Amino acid sequence: MLVNWDTMIFVLSKKQTRKFSYTRLLSPTKDLVACTSCGSLHQMSTICGQCYAKIRELTNEIKRKMMFYNPYKGEAQDKEVIVRFSNDNVVDDGVVNGKRIIEIEKERPTWFKKLF
């Protein structure tokens, strides 16, 4: 049996040499600005990562204390919550006017308002 190699068609495609340009893979960001409170760099369209980490840490602590309640003492989780920091000078018990008070052992940050 003779095979004519000139008339044979190969189904495989050619080897792909380059799909992306090597010069366009990495480009520098030009919209970096310094944070006004901590001085770290972040993109103009986003918030500062270090400041956000501080805020997230504080709010997670508040959430943890909000979820901690004792149903055997008659505490319900559906009460309104007041957050009291260590530098607040108001002295109250655990529940005032149907609102539960959560005490945080840190000073009140400047961005955390007393009343919302």
Q: What is the pLDDT of residues 77-102, one digit of tens each?
A: 677 888 888 887 766 565 677 777 88
Rounded CA separation 73/55 (Å) = 32
Q: For the chain, give percent helix, strand, coil, nearest 5.
A: 20, 15, 65
In a domain, 22, yes or no: no
Is the per-residue pLDDT at 14 higher than 60? yes
Residue 93 and residue 62 share a domain: no
> Residue 48, Cβ neighbours under 10 Å: how many?
20
Residue 76 and residue 98 share a domain: yes
In a domain, 1, yes or no: no
Residue 73 and residue 62 share a domain: no
Query: Tokens 């539960």 appear where?
Result: 100
In a domain, 83, yes or no: yes
Q: Provide the domain limits for residue 96.
A: 69-109
The full DSSP string for 51-72 is HHHHHHHHHHHHHHHHH---GG
Confidence of residue 35 (pLDDT cuts 50, 70, 90): very high
**Quick one: tokens of 80?**
């309104």
User: How many domains is the chain partitioned into structurally?
Assistant: 2
Q: What is the mean pLDDT of the chain?
A: 78
